[in-house]
Each structure stands twice: as structure tokens, then as C-alpha cells.
Amino acid sequence: MTTAPSSTLTTPPIAPATTTVEILCEDGWFAVCSLDDLIAGRGVAALLPDGGQAALFVDRAGRAYAIGNRDPFTGAYVLSRGLTGSTEGRPFVASPLLKQRFDLATGECLDDAAMSVPTYRVRTRNGATGS
């Protein structure tokens, strides 16, 4: 006697909710990456819709920051590769080239008040990834 194979209904796995990091650009909010993709103490570079570059960082408390990626002292797009730290409660990134420190919240150079980098508004949004 042959039995017909049983049909089992299966539901596709539900993707876990993710937190997306977005940068405010001229045309609105631009999704850059998942917050889980960022590691405290390390930066990533993001190519923006207008062709500019941002350096994106997250601190140990999970707060995200974005500044321009171009080092104003050398003209090189390297700030995303800098070393992070804090001084007097101010989070900063030190350029990997000449070591000037830039405040991640304001873009101000902590070593030369005449220099700064642009900052970008950043937000994180929770949402489900599609399957």
C-alpha cells in the first residue's frame, strides 16, 4: 500500500527586527546601515546621495554620530579610519594621519579652533527586515 506524502504547512522564518542608522541629507533621511553593523571604537565611511562622504561612529552606549569623512588638514577622506576616544566627556575621533581630534557631536577640531568638519543629524529607527 502506498501512502501519499503528507503536506506540511510551513511558515517562512520571520526576520528579526533591526535598527537602521539614518543620516539627514538634503533630500531627507538616508538609510546607511544597521546599528548592529557598527562597532564601538571603529568608524565606517558612507557614500551619500550627493556624492559626499560621511564618517559614521557609534559609542559604547549605542549613540550614533556622523561627521564629514574629509580631514581638513590633509584633504584625505580618512576620518572614518581614525581612533576614537573622549576628553572631558566629549567624544572625538583623531585623524589617522596627523592626529588632530574632531568632536563627534559638533565637528569642532579640539586641537585647532579655526578648523572643523561638517556634522550630520543621525537617527536610529527600528523596523523589520523583509524576507
pLDDT in tens, 82-119: 999 999 999 999 999 999 999 999 999 999 999 999 99
What is the pLDDT confidence band of residue 128, given thresholds at 50, 70 and 90? very low
Is the separation of the CB atoms in 124 and 20 below 8 Å?
yes
3-state secondary structure of 35: helix
Dist. CA 78–CA 30, nearest whole Å: 21
pLDDT in tens, 1-53: 555 555 455 555 555 568 999 999 999 999 999 999 999 989 999 999 999 99
pLDDT of residue 66: 98
